[in-house]
Structure 1
């Protein structure tokens, strides 16, 4: 080994020793800083403990002063419910108890009172000493087919001319009617992987456990409300379900929490949600049909496709309701849920009236095109309108006077193409 190599090794050794001394000095400084931080943490913990003690005393005094007011509010909110026994009412007035939740340092969820049934509202309103009488409820809609001889002008009756013209124009035509369908993208989900990923999170399980422990009385209150729910109008059920969903939304996971409460009326809750959802969807569809307008700025093919698509949607919903009506009504009767709205004289009648409106719009648009234009597609438009009128006629079970008059005008125009 040469002298030059010895010098290099000596320099490396000196550098390593110097680096070691620097690290030891830095380590000593870090130790001093850690000791200083530990002292600060101990001091902050003591201060935090004092603050929590003061806040806890204030919270207890606030709860004791407001508990009577909360109990009175809940009791007043439930006095309007029908069929509620005195024992159940006294139990609700005592809700909520604060002891279980306070053991975890959390306040329990205080639910809003459920909506009152519409039948519990007084028929008179007192404003500034004067009584204002509410108008009586409207009578139920008439049945689809009036079998009496003295039918009104708006009654729905069979129009044989519709079937006659349809068969005349479609004789020898085996091409099926083109309907506007609905398509959707398939949704591929891996439920097993999703559930496994969620349940592996300790924070998620801890939140569920916390809800089970701290909101037991809150859930018991909701359970009694569901079990005692007995409404005569489906609109009241819809309002109750909306209130219930809002209250249950405060749980971290409704299904995961409620499965720890074996007395929870899951079947009745699901049945009420199903009825409310079906009724709400039909009311939305009824509003969509009643507000539908033919946009004259659109071309005739586009406008006619819009009308046909809405009719297709309407028929699909009504057929689905009629298909499950027997089984659903039996289930609703078992849980004291209104079911009469599913019958033909109910909302189905209103939807079929809307279907006749679509038929009138369809015939009016076709007649306006045929009277103002002349093209090789006139016969196809006429055939399309007759088919649509026949389809609505068979679906509704007839035409009212306005629809019958519109069809007669279309028939007069058809004589020019089919003498």
Structure 2
């Protein structure tokens, strides 16, 4: 009897690298400045709130992954635990939120590589290159993610060390905290949540990892812990070195940490581009596989479920996500794109926490209070996002609902 090839190729190290590289992308290089605009010197409190919400989400998602190992992440968990419509809202929220994340990461990479007049064309070129690479399958994506995650971590540690050894930079804007309020702190949390939203990417790749019941939860929690330490250290260094006023006005705050070393500024620009491209690769893989899972159930158009016979890559889904990201690159601003992304992803995690609350005792590894805290946190952060981002996300959610209803009606009549 002929043995079939083992389809699950990614282990804990590769899966963790995917999560780390997804988080250490555009968010760590672009989210601190707008968060400081909202929260001022209380930015670390915003980071703490985002961390608590993200940690609750990670715990709920890891618990669900143990019971439901399969492609689709919270889309699958929501369907199994709550029903078809909650599962659909989670899946659609993930697809649209991460399509926006893909666009944000391409824009960030271009912003660090070229001057403003050339940024959009270069962002589109970056997106095209990563999309082409993603067509070759998960093994190559995991290998690239492992390399990029290591390079980015080493680079950020070097930036932090250099910032501590360099003369302190003064000149933060006076009175920058005058208008800071509780809503400002929460809005800062919603912005900084964008920098955390990568750990559950591993759950969407469950069909392509070894021993998913063990590998997926472990990789999600490891990637979350690694990035949490890095973000907290960077946030403290930015406030201590630049001050909240100057940080709020700095488009490239990580580069500003080493502005006394021009050569290092160039290196930071390259590092930011590499990190953004690595995150783009991981997010594109995860979002396309959620679209694939939804296509299988005819909740999105059926062609999204097609997989290449030799690589198992859902190429139609990959191209669809890339096309949506390209549109956002052409028409969107980086802050609008980040806000839109956070709205979609927070809905995704809201469904995750609600799903975890319904799990039977034998499947629970965390207290129900943790999932309840995560659900409340998701709602609070969503409602404090900028109104334009909320309105745009709501409109796209309604479009998705209309598509699903049309597909179901056609299926029933067929």
Both proteins in one fold, TM over 0.5: no
In the superposition, the TM-score normalised over structure 2's length comes to 0.24
If each structure's helix is expressed as a fraction of its own residues, which one has the higher value?
2
Which has more radius of gyration?
Answer: 1
